[in-house]
A and B are shown apart, each in its own frame.
Chain A
Amino acid sequence: VQEKEELIEEWQPEPLVPPVPKDHPALNYNVVSGPPTHIITVNGKECVNFASFNFLGLLDNEKVKSAAQASLKKYGVGTCGPRGFYGTFDVHLELEERLAKFMRTEEAIIYSYGFATIASAIPAYSKRGDIVFVDEAACFAIQKGLQASRSNIKLFKHNDMADLERLLKEQETEDQKNPRKARVTRRFIVVEGLYMNTGDICPLPELIKLKYKYKVRIFLEESLSFGVLGEHGRGVTEHFGINIDDIDLISANMENSLASIGGFCCGRSFIIDHQRLSGQGYCFSASLPPLLAAAAIEALNIMEDNPEIFQTLRSKCERIHKALQG
């Protein structure tokens, strides 16, 4: 016992956090006063905003704001509960229906935070022992979702379909050695529509071919491409003209084009309904404040009524790309 007391006396832990140097670049944030729209006041100076994800310019749209005001007058700010315990409002149900109709899928499910959407969706389906093929340049939220799922991760080179096919073939030979295990191991490919880290679009038609050849399911993360690509803004599936039922799960966040907060997943009921009981960010967290859901519904209305904004956005992008490339 004497020894134990001595050991306890002697043990010194590390400090809880290491000290951060005062001039660390990430320590002192830029302070934005006023709304972070196209003209933004940073640290007192007025600038043109090329840094926010406000792709369709809906952040300071008057119609969106008045819809949110109406919702605020009716419901207050917070929902005071998760979806299961009196936190489901009629606005949430309406937003889910509208999103499902817009994306032409059976069902949609809403999360209260964009990051948590894909980070809760992946572990709901992929468990320990399953295999996930994911692109090297996948965003951080996908990486966290994969880490939480404890599955086997196989990375393939960014947008390189030959590399992915090589990995799939290797997996096939593995399967033939142990067919019993192969029958219960689920396989997924996780890709993004428009990659946050590189700005490329994923080659979706080739992915669909690989999906049916090797029997893997596809999860598509469309945070940046929702409301940007495609004739009506439905994302990369519309951009390539692919049947949306071929993608098992589409996940996106509403914090970019829709200028609100939160995220959603859409797909067939067979797949989406499972998340209502096993999506951690859905079951164990408070639901989205109704004013943000109302703002998202109004933004969707604007997107549906004015499909020419996508063409405007595209022409501006092409102009900037051409000008920068010289």
Chain B
Amino acid sequence: LNHVVHNGGLYKRPFNEAFEETPMLVAVLTYVGYGVLTLFGYLRDFMRQWKIEKCQNATEREEQKDFVPLYQDFENFYNRNLYMRIRDSWNRPICSVPGAKVDMMERVSHDYNWTFTYTGKVLKGIINMGSYNYLGFAQKAGTCQEAAAKVLSQYGAGVCSTRQEMGNLDKHEELEKLVARFLGVESAMAYGMGFATNSMNIPALVGKGCLILSDELNHASLVLGARLSGATIRIFKHNNMQSLEKLLKDAIVHGQPRTRRPWKKILILVEGIYSMEGSIVRLPEVIALKKKYKSYLYLDEAHSIGALGPSGRGVVEYFGLNPEDVDVMMGTFTKSFGAAGGYIGGKKELIDYLRTYSHSAVYATSLSPPVVEQIITSMKCIMGEDGTTVGKARVQQLAENTRYFRRRLKEMGFIIYGNEDSPVVPLMLYMPAKIGAFGREMLKRNIGVVVVGFPATPIIESRARFCLSAAHTKEMLDTALKEINDVGDLLQLKYSRHRLVPNLDRPFDETTYEETED
């Protein structure tokens, strides 16, 4: 189903997003696969209960056997019988910097993944397509690392205090001014953890009597923040503007559910790039709707800051919009800046309010000084303020890598979800056995990939997710593509029925937009 726009005027560039439908045969076979696994699961549980098979699970203490059981057997069914079989695809330990190539510690299991032992051997030079290293700032040498080392020897590693007490270092003030300049907003505030930024600041902004409209596929931190705030939450279909408009209209016209009083505020929660789908939010339309219905917009740019836009300023620059239109710009420093922590940017009143009332400022520790220095140096590099063009080159390299990689995968015949410009590339696997097989086969060929299944994705839509980086050279991408091609043939993953003709660059004109069928 190719998505195109009917408000063509709002978009200054083509918006190509595609979510090809699951082929019917594949869907049926996937359900059959899960059915077989469930049957075997019941059989094995039965055998374990009757002691025919040894139970490898950890168990409760003898003294506490008559306490109420801590876990229900059913909750763990998926864990014991499906996840355990392919557990070696996750939590792979590495022992080098998470750059374009990484060293992994080899581990084997002699009892079908119940326990792991490390052989002591290190697998060197594995091409890393799993880390969120979009601009390649995960480096162990270079200006960023030297600056961080200097700050570490001067300030130490920890802070031991909260922002409002003795934890506000001059480094933090410098960082916040820089972040505000980078984003093009009046003021910004930085926090120690990206997840905690969402879960502790959304409750400060909205409360009871307010309405939150949240996208279907929002991240767990946004969902948790929305729940902790106490406001009413309504979900709209993923990136679907008609669904959002309908909810907004109904909310204003009908008011609160039982009392019919008008809502105090409406807050729309969206993300810049959705990491499981690879889709980019339809920001021009969201802003148009927000202005029409007088609501507020909270944009979570965890994956898109640094990765989109001609100078890496995120999804707002990608669409050529004004950063002042977004009320709350939130993002993290973990992905494109190679550090840790989160930030919120916006108008001065908003940030002043958060400085006084945010839970994080009062109760949680501030950022560690060497981490702050890494963010400052990498941000200056991206902005070009360190006197080199390294930052700009990296942003461009990432964009080129993205387009090249996606095009080649589509040509090979895989089903790839998401927007053409998103550096997150989900490749559909569907069947449960292929999840484990894909991960293992790629590792044999020295490529590290990330595979995801239920519950992070819908049950039949398991996928492999590639995260491209500016540090990947064309040779690395070509090696990876060749191996993906081989594994794709081996596992029969080339489901796509819309075989694309290799792209001849067409000039951008209005006629590339089609009308959607209503």
Chain A contact residues, CB within 8 Å of chain B: 4, 7-8, 11-20, 24, 26-27, 29-37, 40, 42, 49, 51-54, 59-60, 64-65, 68-69, 72-81, 83-90, 92-93, 112-116, 119, 125, 139-141, 144, 147-148, 182-187, 212, 215-217, 245, 253-256, 258-261, 268-271, 273-274, 276-277, 280-281, 283-286, 288-289, 291-292, 295
Contact = CB atoms under 8 A, between A and B. Distances in A.
A279 to B, nearest CB: 11
Contacts of A93: 93
Contacts, number: 333
Contacts of A270: 58-61, 70
B153 A148 contact: no
A295 B158 contact: yes
Given A72-B148, A113-B196, A147-B228, A78 B340 contact: yes
Contacts of A212: 63
A298 to B, nearest CB: 9
A86 B339 contact: no
B42 interface: no
B365 interface: yes
A48 B509 CA distance: 67
A285 B338 contact: no
Contacts of A88: 91-94
Interface string B345-387: 0000110111110011111110011110010000000000000
Contact of A76 (B61, B67, B138, B249): B138
Given A77-B371, A255-B159, A12 B92 contact: no
B12 interface: no
A77 B145 contact: yes
B356 A113 contact: no
B3 interface: no
The 4 closest A-B pairs by CB, nearest first: A113-B193, A17-B353, A270-B58, A29-B168
Contact of B363 (A115, A288, A291): A115
A78 B363 contact: no
B450 A286 contact: no
Nearest to B159: A36
Contacts of B224: 148, 280
Given A29-B163, A72-B370, A76-B139, A13 B156 contact: no
Interface in B135-159: 137-141, 144-145, 148-149, 152-159
A112 B132 CA distance: 17
Interface stretch (B290-298, B315-323, B510-518): B290-298
26 contacts: A8-B249, A8-B292, A17-B350, A20-B349, A31-B173, A52-B160, A65-B153, A72-B145, A76-B138, A76-B338, A77-B371, A78-B371, A79-B131, A80-B131, A89-B95, A92-B93, A113-B192, A115-B192, A139-B363, A140-B363, A217-B67, A255-B159, A256-B160, A270-B61, A291-B152, A295-B158
Interface in B247-304: 249, 252-253, 262-266, 292-296
Interface stretch (B96-104, B389-397, B404-412, B477-485): B96-104
B232 interface: no
Interface of B: 58-61, 63-64, 66-72, 79, 83, 90-99, 102, 105, 128, 130-133, 137-141, 144-145, 148-149, 152-161, 163-170, 173, 192-196, 199-200, 205, 219-221, 224, 227-228, 249, 252-253, 262-266, 292-296, 327-328, 332-335, 337-340, 349-350, 352-356, 359-365, 368-371, 374, 448, 450
A59 B354 CA distance: 28
A186 B161 contact: no
Contacts of A49: 166
Contact of A115 (B102, B294, B328, B364): B364
Contacts of A256: 160
Given A86-B448, A86-B450, A269 B58 contact: yes
A292 B368 contact: yes
A77 B265 contact: no
Contacts of A185: 68
B294 A11 contact: yes
Contact of B168 (A31, A68, A148, A276): A31
B155 A259 contact: no
A4 to B, nearest CB: 5
Contact of A84 (B58, B68, B90, B333): B90
Contact of B166 (A51, A114, A141, A271): A51
Contacts of B68: 182-187, 215
Given A78-B374, A90-B105, A183-B68, 9 more contacts: A13-B266, A19-B353, A20-B352, A26-B164, A36-B155, A59-B156, A112-B193, A255-B159, A274-B71
**Which of A7, A64, A182 has its CB near the most chain B CB atoms (within 10 A)?**
A7
Contacts of A8: 249, 252-253, 292-293
B131 A87 contact: yes
A34 to B, nearest CB: 7
Nearest to A49: B166
A77 B148 contact: yes
A40 B63 CA distance: 50
A285 B200 CA distance: 14
Contacts of A217: 64, 67, 70
B360 A115 contact: yes
B204 to A, nearest CB: 8
A286 B164 contact: no
A64 B155 CA distance: 12
B138 A89 contact: no
A184 B363 contact: no
Contacts of B333: 78
Query: A11, A16, A49, A268: which has the most chain B beta carbons within 10 Å?
Result: A16
A19 B347 CA distance: 12
Nearest to A212: B63
A30 B293 contact: no
B307 to A, nearest CB: 13
Contacts of A245: 61
